[in-house]
Structure 1
Amino acid sequence: MDDDTITIRLTRDQALVLSDWLHRAMFQSNDLEGILPDRAVWSPIYSISGTLDKALPEIFMPDYGQHLAAARERLHRDLHGEADEPTGPLE
């Protein structure tokens, strides 16, 4: 059963925003264990993060912040009908 794989499909905007959140949760919060105390969860989190890093050249671009802000705005608009302001450091 361990050889079975699951495919998750995300839009580019979803992938970009998720990648940013994962990066902040994993590398900037210094509290991955506090956020995800079950270390078994870390394996898929690292796998997803690595896959997103390879698929998103935007994260290495000088205007990354602009790409991220635009993606966040589109996702907020799609979900809520309008752009929302971020609510916290790990929104």
Structure 2
Amino acid sequence: MSDSQVTIKLTSDEALVLSHWLEKLQMTDLSRVVDDLAVWAPIHRIAGTLDKALPELFAPDYDQRLEAARQRLRPED
């Protein structure tokens, strides 16, 4: 198998919500959630890439931005 790369495109809302979730995941005992050690490397790579791409993570109104992104992504009933 080759080491070709895969590109995933996310909206800024998707990236922000996913980044927050990945941060929470990494703060837990990953072995309870991720039973294959090989999966940890891509989880950390994705989280790191999102951290670098999202200046909102350091904004003083981060919580409000995150909640607004969540609201926009939730399906309407």
What is the percent sequence identity of the aligned residues?
55
Shift of residue 61 of structure 1?
1.0
Per-residue deviation, residues 18-72 of structure 1 (Å, max 9, x unmatched): 0000000102x2x111111101000110110000000000011111000000000
Question: Runs of 5+ in structure 1 lacking a partner?
Answer: 83-91
Q: After TM superposition, where is structure 1 displaced by more than 2 Å over at least 4 residues in a row?
A: none
The size of the alignment, in residue pairs, is: 76
RMSD: 0.9
Distance in 2 separating the partners of 1:13 and 1:55: 12
- Report the residue type matching 1:54 in the other structure: K
Taking structure 1 as the reference length, what is the TM-score of the superposition?
Answer: 0.80
Question: Runs of 5+ in structure 2 lacking a partner?
Answer: none
- Counterpart for residue 88 of structure 1: none
Taking structure 2 as the reference length, what is the TM-score of the superposition?
Answer: 0.94
